[in-house]
Structure 1
Amino acid sequence: MLSTFTDVEVEYLCHGVPLADYQPTKADHRRQQEAVRTHEWVQRQVAKAPPWTEERRERMRELLGPPIPPWELQRWRLRLYCGHIVEAARIRKSPRPDGGVCDKEACPECCLDPSVIVAFEPLGPLADPPPKKRSQKPSRPSRKPPADRRSKAELAAENEALRAELQALRDQM
């Protein structure tokens, strides 16, 4: 059963009651077994892969961009397959802690990795956004060049074409 909580931007979903007593269902057992098999397969594939160079690591950091600021994260209470209850932070734009994709978490208490999420509820934002800074000067709108303005390269190409046409006319005389 899913219920919802509305934030300013997102309608967060709830599944079950993480703090209530819970007995894993057959579906939970099946999802956990599948998660373990998938995790083991990924570990085998990673072990076969060549090690990354520092350049490749740096390129990956560039592609991923800066870390997500805390005010863009939502806190969640999760009940894991192993029975432990943990808090986790996820991006606020997602209505579920699993993002609809990865419904497992490593348990910090018993170290079961992965442990499927069997119940979850939103707790609120991880942090408040920073206050907006007031600029001392009013910002001017950016000036855009007129639509009929051409680039230097376009003008140079047109100039060269006109010179060639002029030379062709002179040669005909």
Structure 2
Amino acid sequence: MEVEYLRHGVPLADYPLTKADHRRQREAVQVHEWVQRQLAKAPPWSDKHLEEMRQLLGPPTPPWELQRWRLRLYCGHVIEATRNRNNPRPDGGGRDEERCPECGLNPAVIVAFEPLGPAAEPPAESRSLMSSRSTRQPPADRRSKAELVAENNALRAELEVLRDQA
């Protein structure tokens, strides 16, 4: 599946902040502060719990599954960031903010963005696996919806006969 990446504004051009940008930044700061307060109340995690979470999350995303983006942040700084290649926008999936590495503003909402390209090319064996996945045929033992409906109707009729006999 090929994703068509979107762009919003021109990160390298002058960008006048809008009322919506100011509102989103204010809301992001409020959410960030609330989360920090909740984390301060929470008991620390044990090493065992941290390891269980690492196991649950799995290995880090390989670089060939990441897309590079140029982002203009609320503070005006322009940075490069990576996101999952399946998202058409860098601010999708609940992550519409960054920590600015230049001024330290955290959070800094994304106000403009443009795609730059993949973070890395997949290794040769991954490319051949991905291309074979797209041409793969469904298993021979899979039945069509019509076949399943017919079998369901036959079983319902058989059940009615058995109920009448009882």
Q: TM-score range by the shorter chain?
A: 0.7 to 0.9
1:120-140 CA distances to partner (integer Å, 9 max, x unpaired)?
A: 000000001111289xxxxxx
Between Structure 1 and Structure 2, how many residues are aligned?
Answer: 127
2:120 equivalent to 1:122 = no
What runs of 5+ residues in structure 1 fail to find an aligned partner? 1-7, 135-173
Shift of 1:89: 0.4
1:87-113 CA distances to partner (integer Å, 9 max, x unpaired)?
A: 000000110112242211100000000
Instruction: Choose 50-59 or 22-31, whichever is displaced more.
Output: 22-31
When the two structures are superposed, what TM-score results if normalisation uses the length of structure 1?
Answer: 0.71
Take 2:93 and 2:21, find their aligned partners in 1: how far apart are those partners? 16
Secondary structure, aligned partner of 2:36:
helix
1:95-106 alignment runs, 5 A limit: 95-106=88-99
Q: 2:41 aligns with which of 43, 48, 72?
A: 48
Secondary structure, aligned partner of 1:13:
coil
Tell me which protein shows more helix as a share of its residues.
2
Aligned-CA RMSD value: 1.4
Q: 1:132 aligns with which of 125, 128, 143?
A: 125
1:1-173 alignment runs, 5 A limit: 9-132=2-125
Secondary structure, aligned partner of 2:68:
strand
Aligned amino acid, residue 39 of structure 1: H
Take 1:98 and 1:69, find their aligned partners in 2: how far apart are those partners? 20
Tell me which protein shows more strand as a share of its residues.
1
1:134-156 CA distances to partner (integer Å, 9 max, x unpaired)?
A: 9xxxxxxxxxxxxxxxxxxxxxx
Take 1:57 and 1:98, find their aligned partners in 2: how far apart are those partners? 27
What runs of 5+ residues in structure 2 fail to find an aligned partner? 129-166
Larger Rg: 1
